[in-house]
Amino acid sequence: NWTELDVWQYIDREGIELPEIYFAHEREVFQRNGMWLTAGEWGGPKDTEPVEKRLVRYRTVGDMSCTGAVDSDAATLDAVIAEIAVSRLTERGATRADDKLSEAAMEDRKREGYF
């Protein structure tokens, strides 16, 4: 029953190296349904969704069509831990587009052969 903070503290304690995507960088993103997404062949952005450069990081990594970035200046492990320690929004609530579409969105993707 580890929390997101428990995972980050473990990463720190064990000295585990992580891909840069977990740390804040200026990236080109657009907003959809309250989330920052990266442009791609998967269907974004639409004409009404302007792309902008923002300082963001990914709290979780998944398919770019359903995983959003969060505004963040946490560019180091210590900064990520400090950010997570005060966050009141779970990574799932902040970054998973499927959870914003419907309660069954992930199950629908499974039925469609996504997994």
- Please give the Cα distance from 21 to 61 (Å, whole number): 8
DSSP 23-71: S-EEEEEEEETTEEE--BTTTB--TTS--EEEEEE-SS---TTTB-BEE
Chain centroid, CA 27 distance in Å: 13
Residue 19 preceded by cis peptide, ω within 30: no
**Domain assignments of the chain as residue spans, ordered by start:** 4-111
Q: Which residue has the higher pLDDT, 105 or 57?
A: 57
Please write the tens of the pLDDT for every residue from 35-63: 888 888 777 798 899 999 999 998 888 77
Tell me the pTM.
Answer: 0.72
Using an 8 Å Cβ cutoff, are 55 and 25 in contact?
A: yes
